[in-house]
Amino acid sequence: MSRKTLIAGNWKMNGLLTDGTALAKDVAAAVRKMEKPECEFLVCPPFTLLTTVKKALRGAKVALGAQDCHFAEKGAHTGDISPQMLKDAGCSYVILGHSERRTDHGETSELVCKKAGAAHDAGLKTIICVGETLSEREAGKALDVCTRQIIDSVPENATSADTVIAYEPVWAIGTGKVPTTGDVAEVHAAIRKTLAKKLGKGNAGKMRILYGGSVKPNNAKELLSLEDVDGALIGGASLKAEDFIAIAKNAGVC
Ligand code: PGA
C-alpha cells in the first residue's frame, strides 16, 4: 500500500517575524530546487506567522499547518482560533492533541476528537498526536495508552484523506532520546491495527502514521525506513531549514 511520506515541521512557540520568515524562505528555496520530491513537506508555525509564512512559501510545494484549533466556527472563545480561520489564513493542516497541549492545557482525547471533527468539516487535514509518558512505558503500558488515545481521539468518520496520526512518545520529545526501532515498529503496527478496527482496513492501510520525538538528520533513515512509519513530525530540527531538509534527504524521500 503506497503512502506518501509526510515531512512535517512543528515550530511550536518559536519564531518572530524576521527569523520565522527567513526560515520559511529557506525551506521554500530548498524545496523549489528539488526535481521531484517523493514526499510532502509541511510547516506548522505559530498562529502569528501563518499568513507571512504562507507568502514566503509561494511557488514551493510546502503545505502550511497550524498547531491547534477550537472546535467552534466562531464566537465567544477569547484567545482561541477556529478551523475556518486557519483555512482562511491558508492552512491545509492542523496538528491536534500534541502532548504539550494535553499536558499544558489539560486537553483530553474526547476534546481532541471534537476538534478533529470540526477541522475536517472546515476542510482541514488533521495530524492527531498520541504517545505514552516514560512512566507508562516503564510500566509496560505504551501500547494500551496509544491504543486508547487512538480510539478516543480519532473521529468515527475520519478517513485516510483527512487524517494523519503522529506517534510521539512524550519522553522522546525534545530530549534527544529515541525509542528502539523495534519499539517504534511495534507501536505503529498496533496503531494501524486499532485504526483498522475503528475505520476499516481500507482507511487504515492508507492512513499515514508519522513518528515524532527527537527526529534528526542522523536518525531519520532508520526511523523512516520502518514499514509502518510514513513520515516524521519534527520539532527542534525543523527550526533549521538545513536540518529539516536533511531529514528528508537522509531518509531518501527527496
Ligand atoms: P522534537 O519535537 O523533534 O523537538 O523532539 C517533536 C514534536 O514535539 O512534535
Active-site residues: which are they? 98, 168
For residue range 213-246, what is the model confidence (pLDDT) as tens digits? Answer: 999 999 999 999 999 999 999 999 999 999 999 9
For residue range 167-219, what is the model confidence (pLDDT) as tens digits? Answer: 999 999 999 999 999 999 999 999 999 999 999 999 999 999 999 999 999 99
C-alpha closest to that of 98 among 179, 164, 53, 156: 164
Q: How far is the CA of 75 from the centre of ligand 1 (A)?
A: 32
Examine the pLDDT at 1 and tell me if it is beyond 70.
Answer: no
For residues 60 and 157, give the distance between their C-alpha atoms in angstroms, rounded to a whole number. 31
Residue of the nearest CA to atom 2 in ligand 1?
235
Closest ligand 1 atom number to CA of residue 212: 6
Q: How far is the CA of 99 from the centre of ligand 1 (A)?
A: 10
- Total-model pTM: 0.98
